[in-house]
Amino acid sequence: MMFRTVKLGVTISSIGGYVLYKYYQPPKFTYEEVKKHNKEGDVWVIHKDNVYDVSKFIENHPGGKDKIMLAAGKSVDPYWNLYQQHNKAQVQDILKPMKIGKILNYTPKTEGDLYMKDPIRNPNLKFHSYKPCNAETPVDLIGDNPITPSDLWYIRNHHPVPDINKDKFTLSISGYGINKNLTVEDLKKFKETSLITTIQCGGNRRDGYNKVDKTSGTPWNVGAISTAKWTGVLLSDIVKFNKNVKHVQFESTDTLKASIPVDKAMKGEVLIAYKMNNEEIPRDHGFPLRAIVPGYVGVRNVKWLNKVILSDKEADGPWQRSISYKVLPKEVKDAGKIDSSKIPTMQEMPIQSVITNIDKEDGKYILNGYAWTGSGDEISKVEISNDNGKTWVLSELNKDLNKNQKHWAWTIWKSKYNISNNPCFICRAFDINNKSQPSVVADKWNLRGLNNNTWHKKCYEECYEE
Ligand SMILES: Nc1nc2c(c(=O)[nH]1)N[C@H]1C(S)=C(S)[C@@H](COP(=O)(O)O)O[C@H]1N2
Ligand SMILES: [Mo]
């Protein structure tokens, strides 16, 4: 009905009805009204204080129908903050004819949406979610980039990204007679140390378990892992540990809490980092300070670190004490039925290897992948099977990243096969102590989908250029 009024207004003004044109008021809709138009075939969205009917447009949305449906009945602005490609005149031209009115009592979505201030991200990441952001690194780039470029590092956030003013920021270190507050500049006065470490989320390869039985959590494929050079100060260089200290707790501006055993804190090359790949740590990865705990599960590498607490206890909270990071026995299908306080939380990561991509080049299959173990031990070999695990051959290893340090960074590997071979491959790695990966996924299955380090199988898939 109101739509017609608009059309009529335009027609009359064109034959001289200037008065109507001048006094024409576009229809106003409440947020509640817009919210009702959130189903396929009937989709309204809000941009700034305008309301658009995009029902007919959604199939043509360059980012896919699903993405636009996320904003159905709501404001697109928080999403456009992530996808900056919308900030151009062309987009406004597309929108214009779809405008149906204005929003009544417009309130810009800044406070209401805490994710509005999240940083702009590289669209080549493989996104699982946006609020909070969970995204995998594009693993097919690893062969050419053993050190992951910071903007392509996987992102695993539990909350909105804190917006921190470095000049006002301090790190507090407390417990057992210690009580210091250090600015980033204060930290920089200590001896600077750099380490190249791989960080892997406890849920990396969770999707592999889901084929056995459902698990809870983001269904990560093989890209919840990345490697960077971190620069900062060793925790053991700035804190003297009293013998009663059993755990070192980390807390962050976004309220995450985690802890590590004091032994690791003293001897495990734990870093308080202020640089990632030679630059300030990007906001998504912990600006301005991050705990780097080489070889330990992702969540102990606390971003936006603002407190270090020496304690006789583990950190409180879900990330340490409850089941989030507990590898439950495979028989447990209902976490409510067990006493999880008896099960230790994950810390050091087991040996892992993965085939990241298989390409066809000059009549050969070229396999690339990574291998790594949280103990910091050297990867001695990566074996590939082309006959479903009966026989194995060695792949070629590139250990350059660990030349001057313990093996905290992954070893990249490569293998070549004639095209006449079966297109399916399995990989497994060994460390210098001959520790290797388990073969059967069903044996390692656990309710929270953690620590999947079973033999990794991948087949070559033709991809067609459009
Ligand atoms: N403060 C804080 N630290 C955090 C997280 C977080 O949400 N908040 N996520 C943790 C988890 S589960 C992982 S796997 C890694 C991910 O780090 P990244 O986003 O830099 O890849 O950071 C860890 N540190
Ligand atoms: Mo994680």
Q: Are residues 371 and 282 in the same domain?
A: no
Beta carbon of 270 within 6 Å of any ligand 1 atom: no
pLDDT at 466: 41
Over residues 310-365, the pLDDT tens digits come to 999 999 888 888 888 999 999 998 888 888 888 999 999 999 999 999 999 999 99
Number of domains observed in the structure of the chain: 2
The verdict on residue 400 lying in a domain is yes
Span from the CA of 47 to the centroid of ligand 2 (angstroms):
34
Residue 380 DSSP label? E
Residue 358: which CATH number? 2.60.40.650
* CA atoms 305, 309, 312, 318: torsion sign: negative
85 found inside a domain = no
Same domain, 189 and 319: yes
Q: What separation in Å is there between the alpha carbon of 301 and the centre of ligand 1?
A: 7
Full residue range of the structural domain in which residue 449 is found? 352-463
CATH classification of the domain holding 162: 3.90.420.10
Question: Where among 328, 343, 374 does a domain terminate?
Answer: 328
Residue 119 corresponds to which tokens in the numbers above? 């940083």
Residue 191 reports pLDDT greater than 70: yes
Q: What angle do CA 325, 327, 331 make, to 5 degrees?
A: 140
Catalytic annotation present for 86: yes
Atom of ligand 1 nearest to the CA of 297: 14
In the chain, pLDDT over 70 holds for what percent of residues?
Answer: 92
Q: Tens digit of pLDDT for each residue in 221-272?
A: 999 999 999 999 999 999 999 999 999 999 999 999 999 999 999 999 999 9
The residue from 284, 312, 328 where one domain ends is: 328
pTM of the model: 0.79
Q: Per the domain annotation, does 32 fall within a domain?
A: no
306 and 358 fall within a common domain:
no
Over the stretch 157-183, which tens digit does the pLDDT of each residue have? 999 999 999 999 999 999 999 999 999
Same-domain status, 365 and 252: no
Same domain, 313 and 360: no
Are 215 and 145 part of one and the same domain? yes
Q: Establish if 84 belongs to a structural domain.
A: no
- State whether 204 and 307 are in the same domain: yes
Is pLDDT of 100 > 60? yes
Please tell me whether residues 165 and 214 are part of one structural domain.
Answer: yes
> Using an 8 Å Cβ cutoff, are 252 and 161 in contact?
no
Q: Are residues 318 and 384 in the same domain?
A: no
Q: Residues 274, 325, 365, 460: which is the catalytic one? A: 325
Residue at 75 is within a domain: no
Q: Is 344 part of any domain?
A: no
Residues 174 and 234 in one domain: yes
Ligand 2: distance of its center to the CA of 391 in Å? 34
Does ligand 1 lie within 6 Å of residue 304's CB atom? yes
Q: Indicate the residue among 328, 360, 384 that finishes a domain.
A: 328
Please enumerate in sequence order all residues whose Cβ is within 8 A of that of 112, keeping only pairs 6 or more positions apart, or say none: none
377 and 307 in one domain?
no
361 and 320 assigned to the same domain? no
Contacts of 169 (CB under 8 A, 6+ apart): 183, 184, 288, 289, 306
* 16 lies in some domain: no
pLDDT mean across residues, the chain: 91
Angle (nearest 5°) at CA 137 between 452 and 447: 25
Q: Which ligand is nearest to the CA of 258?
A: 1
Calculate mean pLDDT across residues 408-415.
98
Do the domain assignments include residue 154? yes
pLDDT at 90: 76
